[in-house]
Chains A and B, each alone.
Chain A
């Protein structure tokens, strides 16, 4: 009987196929009328009320946004990925929180005193914050968290972001010093003292980062380290929202926490995150009013425009560049002029507008525009441009490099390693065409699956690689220390004494302006003079958002945040 029903339904569906198509054209034309009002304006916070044909999901006081994939690890001690950070930011209160402009604001730290040498932070904590298991949030929760992350037993892949910074961190991690000697102390229940090894200009930003969140010891031990954060009921939270439901690989639902000390910060009573892996699926679900915010791919931006969907974009902090293998002397890649020529030959304007089409912008240096600099100014604004596209100069530098090395353009036989995804390959093909056009050389493309590409980079089995980097913290250093002689990310084996020294000096420099100056010099060496890598673009994210969503923050450091309603 049941099958007869399905048969009937299948036939019925076949009949309405044509009907559906008719209906769609009608919807299209009515929607395109609002096209102009939905022009993108690049703002990162959607507080506008322009109405489109997409009012959003039906449930009241509920936002449904798409996270694309499951957050893998909600244990703040172990986590190291963006999606998990999106959820943790909502459910955990740390010492500081980021506002809608990525600026750290006091969260649990009511009052902060910094020592003269910039290494010791003494913080008075709020006394009205509570864990979801009823315990008060105290300074001991921070001590427990930092000591745990700095232990090999915890096996946190992000441990270094704590132990590299805190006093005695490395020794405690290696077990040569007792955890009690780590640079974190509870003076009393509500006074926390954090001591860094060196002065850290971005310390407040670190305090807003998941690895620096508190952890309730009782809850952690009751649930057990292995199971902690695996399900909605296996995590203890203290933040603006609580996890009310988690169906793995499907959705995770957060509800405003009635015990939170600042309930006015919550943008909605409920936020549900879906996990739709397929871009077309997301677009269909958005059009069907099943989801309020989705990321839009380069191919979908035109379609979104046509349908009158309101889109916005932001620079997500990522920098994509070409890294050269400086060991390939037979291919001239030990020569700075050849490297710079290759990088400068790529028309990044055209790359962003014609190929990427996702809100990415041409790179003007190694450090993206979004990264904070000294004295409240963005680093990029303060130090100016370091690189740009210039076909003439590229050609000149390349030919000069050939002369210096005695190589001829035909002998180079260069290849570029890239990811095997369609977009990466398409982009690499653009580079290939540019090199042919500007420098007259043929470059082979070697696409590899992500993990293989990493393995090839690690073993030095490449000429040039199209790779990217996203920051670990809001400071230029996270981009600039990558290419020192001993850094594990220096796959091209670049080595320059002056650059190494500048980075080393900046590490211990206490004065913010002087430090920025050192960093700017180092950036010019690594990205332009020596061109160990050549920055191409700062990657962007374009997203569609329904009329319903208010007070949503999407920035480079906060992919999603709904706790800024009171700012």
Chain B
């Protein structure tokens, strides 16, 4: 237990260093973007440009800016977004809960649906159930979320709504539950496919193990064998991909948010780069980075809880 705690502490320290490096690299790289945050096709007089740069602290040397930025960030001040003057923390506070809601729904959907499909496909191997589930997975892997989103919106929200006169699936927005069905589905579809294929392979592997035969020989019911013995063992690889999947869902959120006009953080993340909005680039990158690093840490800890054989001790001494 003490070992575990020490490991977690070490991971937290490493995470902190990673975030620091991420911040510095992002900060320096974004200064290499061509152009500046202020010009928009029209020349700005020199004296006005000076005033703008002074206001945002861009008149100082880059390294000094970086040190100031990290100092402020440690106090929770991520500066103000350049074209609109809103505080970056304010933007994240308002937009992230929406993205998080969307992300969590997608993640749950991807995992639960993916695992169920995988189990069904493995248990009913070679039957129509198997082919059906794997066909669905194939579509999921090959159809990107922006196409899935557009199709769902057009057929299920618009056309179904027009045909029935009942707007069961909202076309745009993120308000009531009608609007919270299609976007998570579109976002999760690809991940669900990945999970189901992984789960199927893993299940098949486990089902051919000797201990399953033993369980059968003991006379356990099919249900008991699958749920108590097979699934618990087969689920490990799926947990492993959780970290990367969180990343995939977070980064994919931008397109889905765009299609369904959802006021999430994804848009800020992408447009900030196009508009050279330095403070917002740095703020969202650091935020997403921190979030991902934490997600990976949590996955590692969960990993240890599910499978006690894996000891969270890191390097052997």
Could you list 25 A-B pairs, sorted by A, with CB under 8 Å? Answer: A20-B163, A23-B162, A73-B84, A152-B47, A152-B50, A152-B51, A153-B51, A155-B48, A155-B51, A230-B85, A248-B91, A250-B174, A277-B261, A277-B267, A278-B258, A281-B260, A284-B153, A284-B154, A284-B172, A288-B162, A449-B34, A450-B41, A454-B39, A454-B41, A458-B39
* Interface status of A269 (Cβ within 8 A of chain B): no
Q: Counting CB contacts under 8 A, is A501 at the interface?
A: no
Q: Is the beta-carbon distance between B52 and A20 smaller than 8 angstroms?
A: no
Residue from A72, A230, A452 in contact with B83 in the complex, judged by beta carbons closer than 8 Å: A72
Q: Which of B157, B158, B173 has the largest count of A CB atoms less than 10 A from its CB?
A: B158
**Contacting residues of chain A (1-42) with chain B, CB-CB under 8 angstroms:** 3, 6-7, 9-10, 13, 16-17, 19-24, 26-27
Q: A230-B85, A285-B171 are in contact. Are A23 and B163 (CB under 8 A)?
A: yes
Q: Is A160 interfacial (CB 8 A cutoff)? A: yes
Residues of A within 8 A of B8 (CB): none
A77-100 residues with Cβ-Cβ distance < 8 A to B are 78, 80-81
Partner of B34, one of A250, A278, A284, A455: A455
User: Given A20-B160, A21-B159, A230-B84, are A155 and B45 also a contact pair (CB < 8 Å)?
Assistant: no
Interface string of B155-190 (1 = CB under 8 A from A): 111111111100101011110000001000100000
CB-CB nearest in chain A for B156: A13
Chain A residues within 8 Å of B42, by CB: 469, 472, 489
Given A23-B162, A157-B48, 17 more pairs with CB closer than 8 A: A3-B109, A3-B113, A19-B163, A24-B159, A24-B162, A27-B162, A72-B83, A73-B83, A73-B84, A152-B54, A157-B52, A159-B51, A274-B261, A281-B258, A284-B171, A288-B158, A288-B161
Interface centre among B38, B86, B157 (most CB of A within 10 A): B86
CB pair B33–A20 under 8 Å, yes or no, is: no
The answer to whether A281 touches B259 (Cβ under 8 A) is yes
**Nearest B residue to A74, CB-CB:** B84
Whether A157 touches B95, Cβ cut-off 8 Å, given contacts A278-B261, A288-B158, is no
Contact (Cβ within 8 A) A230 B86: yes
> Does residue A446 face the partner (Cβ distance < 8 Å to B)?
no
Contact of A248 among B33, B38, B94, B185 (CB under 8 A): B94
Q: Tell me if B263 counts as interface (CB < 8 A to partner A).
A: yes
In the assembled complex, how far is the CB of residue B270 from the closest CB belonging to chain A, in whole angstroms?
10
Is A537 an interface residue, CB under 8 A from the partner? no
Question: 8 Å CB contacts to A: which residues of B22-81?
Answer: 33-35, 38-45, 47-48, 50-52, 54-55, 80
Which of B50, B113, B156 has the most A CB atoms < 10 Å from its CB? Answer: B156
| Contact indicator A20/B35 (Cβ below 8 Å) | no
A468 interfacial contact with B, CB 8 Å:
yes
Most buried by B among A13, A26, A284, A452: A284
Contact A277–B258 (Cβ < 8 Å): yes
Q: How far is the CA of A288 from the CA of B156 in the complex (A)?
A: 11
> Is there contact, CB below 8 Å, between A20 and B48?
no
Cβ–Cβ < 8 Å partners of B157 in chain A: 284, 288
Q: Which residues of B contact A280 (CB under 8 A)?
A: 150, 153-154, 259
Q: Which residues of A contact B (CB under 8 A)?
A: 3, 6-7, 9-10, 13, 16-17, 19-24, 26-27, 70, 72-73, 75, 78, 80-81, 152-157, 159-160, 173-174, 226-227, 229-230, 247-250, 274-278, 280-281, 284-285, 287-288, 290, 449-452, 454-456, 458, 467-469, 472, 487-489
Q: Is B222 an interface residue (CB 8 A)?
A: no
In the complex, chain B residues whose CB is within 8 Å of the CB of A247: 263
Is the beta-carbon distance between B156 and A275 smaller than 8 angstroms?
Answer: no
The CA of A23 and the CA of B116, in the complex, are separated in Å by: 33
CB < 8 Å: which of A276, A285, A451, A468 contacts B275?
A451
A88 vs chain B, min Cβ distance (A): 14
CB nearest to B164 among chain A residues:
A23
Q: Does B276 contact A (CB under 8 A)?
A: yes
CA distance A17 to B152 in the complex (A): 9
Q: Is B5 an interface residue (CB 8 A)?
A: no
B274 at interface (Cβ–Cβ under 8 A)?
yes
Cβ–Cβ contact B158 & A284, under 8 A? yes
Q: Decide yes or no whether B112 CB sits under 8 A from chain A.
A: yes
CB distance from A8 to the nearest CB of B (A): 12
The 8 A CB mask of B133-162 against A (1 = contact, 0 = none) is: 000000000000000001011111111111
How far apart are B125's CB and chain A's nearest CB, in angstroms? Answer: 21
Taking a contact as CB atoms under 8 Å apart, the answer to whether B48 and A159 are in contact is: yes
Assuming the contacts A9-B181, A278-B258, asked whether A20 and B156 have C-beta atoms less than 8 A apart, the reply is yes
Query: How far is A227 from B160 in the complex, measured between Cα atoms in Å?
Result: 44
List A contacts of B83 (CB < 8 A): 72-73, 81
- Nearest residue, chain A, Cβ from B49: A157
Q: Does B9 contact A (CB under 8 A)?
A: no
* Contact (Cβ within 8 A) A174 B94: no
Shortest Cβ distance from residue B183 to the other chain A in the assembled complex, whole angstroms: 12
- Please encode chain B, from 236 to 270, with 1 for each CB lying within 8 Å of some chain A CB and 0 for all others: 00000000000000000000001111011001100
- Tell me whether B43 and A487 are in contact (CB under 8 A): yes
Q: Report chain A residues within 8 Å CB of B185.
A: 6, 10
- List, in ascending order, chain A residues with CB within 8 A of B261's CB: 250, 274-278, 281, 285
- How many Å from the CB of A170 to the closest CB on chain B? 9
